[in-house]
Chain A
Amino acid sequence: MSIGAEGVNRNRRRSGARTLRSAAAALVLLAAGAAFAYPLRASSDSRDTPARLAVTDEFGRTIQVPQPVLRMVSLAPSMTETIFALGAGDRLVGDTDACDYPAAAKTTAKVGSVEAPSIETIVALRPDLVLATSLNRQETVEALDRLGVPVYVADPHTVQDVVQSTARLANLIGAGDAGQALVGNLRARLDALRRRLSGVPPSRVLFVVWTEPLISIGRHTFITDALAWADAQSVVDTERDWPQVSLEEMVRLQPAYLVFAGSHGDAGAPSLADLQARPGWRDLEAVRAGRVVVVSDALARPCPRLLDAIEELARDLHSEVFPENPR
């Protein structure tokens, strides 16, 4: 059909087009109406558990937790470890792909990754309580909130926060006795460390979260505080939590030690020979002199095992005050 004919026919077509238009509009409205016809109710809990404990989590959100807590899902490795440390591992019904400690955590039902877990898998596990940290996306927490699943979000910025968080969690899940014993033990070990290291000049260290690109820690992270307990001071001091820093700046600052959490061969912790071969890295005094310390991956996990990692680091950096346990 030529364009001219289309133009001539246009007026005649107009009335037909109007009918078509209203028909289409009606279709769209119908489809939209059908889509919204099913009302989305707020989920009501049909189980007869009237006892609920109102608690405020570390982001200031108030949640109602059914008592006793019989089924828990953890969305972060540190939370999984804390639950096991409190002797409540048998009540953990789900955790993430990253939860690898203790060994029993690996066989727990998986709900997906820390960043993008499956909400429906979590809900299907019928948890009384979900445990999250600031590692999880806010969207995940909101989605569970909306479905009426209580989520406790931890946000520790210091080692003392980790200890307090452990105590609070112990009370929340009805493991008060185990919690008191654990917290008492952690505090005693912190005191012992402080006594032993008092008067020892702190070591200047670079904590490496990631090597390519070089990512370190900011002053508000619990890792910076954990380093301080081991009498080490981070040469990086930023407002941002996980800053990408330039190697050039590190060469200027020349930290006395490089500290990695994990094990040699991990993506995060390359071997010393590898570092000594890398341009930039080999210009660091610490690398040239082999002052590279690799401690347990728990140094990057705000859980009770963090204390083991702090002690390990303290022994590595200040062997002079740990004569009974030379390394």
Chain B
Amino acid sequence: MKPLTLRRLLWTCGSLSALLLVVIVIALKLGAVPVSVTDLVMSLGRVAIGRSDRLPAEYRLIVFDIRLPRILLGVMVGASLSVAGAGFQALLRNPLADPYVLGVSSGSALGAIIAINVAPQFALATPLGAFLGAVATITCVYFLGLREGNLDSTTLLLAGIICASFLSAIIMFLMTTLSSRDQRGMAFWLMGDLSTPQTSDVRWLFLVGLVVAIGAIYTTAADLNLLLTGEREAAHLGVEVTRVKLVVYVAASLLTALAVSASGAIGYVGLLIPHAMRFLFGSDYRILIPASALGGAIAIVAADAMARTVVAPTELPVGAVTAIAGAPIFIYLLRRRMR
């Protein structure tokens, strides 16, 4: 493991942030309605010097009221899923773990649907239900993945996949109780979709939850590095294993729940982004966590820009784009591990 310096951390985060900014600007340009680069730069300049009142009205609507909030939601969802994935991978000592593969996303979705049915008038019901669903699922999958007291990575993955399909079946069953109009909305949401507008309350809740949960996982980063060598070894080196595991489980479940309640089950981002970041910057969690957050944001913003443009003006759910890109890479990683 390369020694970590403040300089290296700043360089990594700085370059990824710059890349994210570039991707955001490109995503602001792309869409069903054509926007020229010059116009975009001019209007961004006007916003930057505080003259946003000079923008043409429909321009402001399309670029800043429609595309920008969606891109920012994508940033938050991508960061959450990716850090949640990195967290689960450390805890389960399995590089193929991710909220989607482990069934946590499905559990979250089921929790959200039950919450919407039980307390439709309560605005926070969806994220709360999603959180409880996520915690319950990861607990279940964890115990199902144990073999003679040890986590077995194949058993764990199978347990996750089976839980996901079981939970999806229950979701299908519950959907039959909905009106046909709600069913269509739900089907789209389940695929993973960023087009649903969020109220500013939900956006703030998401932001606060995101910062708190990523911060909490980051405080355990040094311990997670040691945990990778094994729980007993880490305990010998002075890691409070139980506390660290609890913090990361709860925080990663919270991140999954926030992402799922805002955008449904978007797959493979939580799996592949930490992988890519580990490949690029090494497996030190102190750098992997911020890098995953930024990388996840870049991936989702780029995938959603594609979802908005490939069959424009019709939109695809972003989950379809991430699955098309992610599933083959997942298979490749799985096969390489088996060798």
Closest 3 CB pairs of A and B: A118-B313, A112-B313, A112-B314
Residue of A10, A24, A137 near B238 (CB, 8 A) is: A10
Contacts of B64 in A (CB 8 A): 38, 40
Residue of B1, B67, B214, B313 near A111 (CB, 8 A) is: B313
Tell me which of A27, A120, A134 has the highest count of chain B C-beta atoms within 10 A of its own C-beta: A120
* B13 within 8 A of partner (CB): yes
Asked if A28 and B314 make an inter-chain contact with CB atoms under 8 angstroms apart, the answer reads no
Asked if B32 and A112 make an inter-chain contact with CB atoms under 8 angstroms apart, the answer reads yes
B174-189 Cβ-contact flags toward A at 8 Å (1 or 0): 0010011110110011
* Nearest B residue (CB) for A29: B211
Contacts of B181 in A (CB 8 A): 134-138
* Complex alpha-carbon distance, A136 and B176, angstroms: 18
Q: From known contacts A21-B218, A23-B9, infer whether A40 and B1 are also in contact, taking CB-CB under 8 Å.
A: no
A44-80 Cβ-contact flags toward B at 8 Å (1 or 0): 0110000000000000000000000000000000000
Q: From known contacts A20-B4, A27-B290, A138-B182, infer whether A143 and B207 are also in contact, taking CB-CB under 8 Å.
A: no
Asked if B32 and A121 make an inter-chain contact with CB atoms under 8 angstroms apart, the answer reads yes
List 24 A-B pairs, Cβ < 8 Å: A6-B1, A17-B221, A24-B218, A25-B215, A27-B290, A28-B214, A35-B72, A36-B72, A38-B64, A41-B65, A46-B57, A112-B32, A116-B188, A117-B313, A118-B32, A118-B312, A118-B314, A118-B315, A124-B33, A137-B184, A140-B195, A143-B197, A240-B176, A242-B180
* B275 within 8 A of partner (CB): no
Shortest beta-carbon distance from A6 to chain B in Å:
7
Contacts of A110 in B (CB 8 A): 313
Contacts of B229 in A (CB 8 A): 3
Residue of A14, A19, A31, A124 near B62 (CB, 8 A) is: A124
B224-263 Cβ-contact flags toward A at 8 Å (1 or 0): 0110010001000110000000000000000000000000
* Complex alpha-carbon distance, A120 and B68, angstroms: 12
Residue of A36, A134, A139, A140 near B207 (CB, 8 A) is: A36
Given contact pairs A120-B33, A137-B185, A241-B179, enumerate 16 new A-B contacts (beta carbons under 8 Å).
A3-B229, A10-B222, A25-B218, A27-B13, A38-B64, A40-B64, A40-B69, A112-B32, A115-B184, A120-B62, A121-B312, A123-B61, A123-B66, A142-B197, A147-B66, A240-B180
* Complex alpha-carbon distance, A14 and B210, angstroms: 25
Asked if B9 and A20 make an inter-chain contact with CB atoms under 8 angstroms apart, the answer reads yes
* Complex alpha-carbon distance, A121 and B211, angstroms: 34
Asked if B62 and A32 make an inter-chain contact with CB atoms under 8 angstroms apart, the answer reads no
* Complex alpha-carbon distance, A185 and B233, angstroms: 85
Contacts of B176 in A (CB 8 A): 240
Asked if A121 and B313 make an inter-chain contact with CB atoms under 8 angstroms apart, the answer reads yes
* A43 within 8 A of partner (CB): yes
* Complex alpha-carbon distance, A241 and B314, angstroms: 26
Shortest beta-carbon distance from B312 to chain A in Å:
6
Asked if B66 and A121 make an inter-chain contact with CB atoms under 8 angstroms apart, the answer reads no
Contacts of A36 in B (CB 8 A): 72, 207
Contacts of B221 in A (CB 8 A): 17, 21
* Nearest B residue (CB) for A14: B222
Contacts of A123 in B (CB 8 A): 33, 58, 61-62, 66
- How many chain A residues touch B (Cβ–Cβ < 8 Å)? 57
Q: From known contacts A35-B75, A139-B185, infer whether A116 and B13 are also in contact, taking CB-CB under 8 Å.
A: no
Shortest beta-carbon distance from B316 to chain A in Å:
7
* Nearest B residue (CB) for A36: B207
Contacts of B95 in A (CB 8 A): none
Q: From known contacts A20-B4, A121-B33, A242-B180, infer whether A43 and B207 are also in contact, taking CB-CB under 8 Å.
A: no
B44-84 Cβ-contact flags toward A at 8 Å (1 or 0): 00010000000001101110111111001001000000000
Contacts of A312 in B (CB 8 A): none
Asked if A3 and B233 make an inter-chain contact with CB atoms under 8 angstroms apart, the answer reads yes
* Complex alpha-carbon distance, A116 and B210, angstroms: 28
Contacts of A41 in B (CB 8 A): 65
Contacts of B60 in A (CB 8 A): 43
Asked if A139 and B188 make an inter-chain contact with CB atoms under 8 angstroms apart, the answer reads yes
Asked if B65 and A40 make an inter-chain contact with CB atoms under 8 angstroms apart, the answer reads yes
Asked if A139 and B195 make an inter-chain contact with CB atoms under 8 angstroms apart, the answer reads yes
Contacts of A35 in B (CB 8 A): 72, 75, 207
Residue of B62, B238, B315 near A116 (CB, 8 A) is: B315
Asked if B182 and A119 make an inter-chain contact with CB atoms under 8 angstroms apart, the answer reads no
Contacts of B214 in A (CB 8 A): 28
* B29 within 8 A of partner (CB): no
* B93 within 8 A of partner (CB): no
Asked if B6 and A20 make an inter-chain contact with CB atoms under 8 angstroms apart, the answer reads yes
* Complex alpha-carbon distance, A138 and B189, angstroms: 12
* A113 within 8 A of partner (CB): yes
Chain B positions 3-19 with a Cβ under 8 Å from a chain A Cβ: 4, 6, 9-10, 13, 17
B303-328 Cβ-contact flags toward A at 8 Å (1 or 0): 00000100011111100000000000
* Complex alpha-carbon distance, A45 and B225, angstroms: 55
* B200 within 8 A of partner (CB): yes
* B293 within 8 A of partner (CB): yes
Contacts of B211 in A (CB 8 A): 28-29, 32
